[in-house]
Amino acid sequence: MTVEINVGGRAHGRLVVAVLVPALVVVVALVMLVRGLFTGSRAEWLVGSALCLGVVVVAPRLIQWVAQRLERPQKLIIGSDGVRWDEPKGASWAYRWADVDRLVVVRNGSRVVLEVAARDGRGQRQAVDGDFTTTIDLALRQFAGDRYEGLR
């Protein structure tokens, strides 16, 4: 039995912002373009046209770039065999319970960090989403036994 916590898919809000900002620029550019056409202001028409063209060219790449960086698959897996951080595009790590000396979950404002200290002196500090603090706490209480020192 394991508890698998997907902490990498929590960036939807930032992705929405990455889409809305270029959309807002397009709206402003279109207003400038239309005003320039009806008032005869060549500068306003030119700036509006350039902004529209720029956003049409740049926005898809910007959205793709933001999506690739924000939507990384990251999972914290806690089970009867140990604790594991699975990040295919980053630094994954794993510890069997026999190798773990102590674990603690540290809260510092909105930042939550899982600290793992191994018996051989190695260790790991992993930032996790604050929304999952209770789930991580319950899973570690269930599987880590007396190695888990609780929330701080």
**Residue 125's pLDDT is what?**
80
CA distance 123 to 121: 6
Predicted pLDDT at 42:
81
**Of the given ranges (8-12, 54-58, 63-67), which has the lowest mean pLDDT?**
8-12
Between the CA of residue 140 and those of 26, 27, 86, 118, what are the distances in Å? Answer: 49, 49, 17, 15
SS3 41: coil
Helical spans, DSSP H, in 1-152: 12-39, 42-70, 133-143
Distances (CA, A) of 35 to 18, 22, 89, 102: 27, 20, 47, 66
Calpha distance 8→129 (Å, rounded): 9
Query: Is residue 131 predicted with pLDDT exceeding 80?
Result: no
pTM to 2 decimal places: 0.60
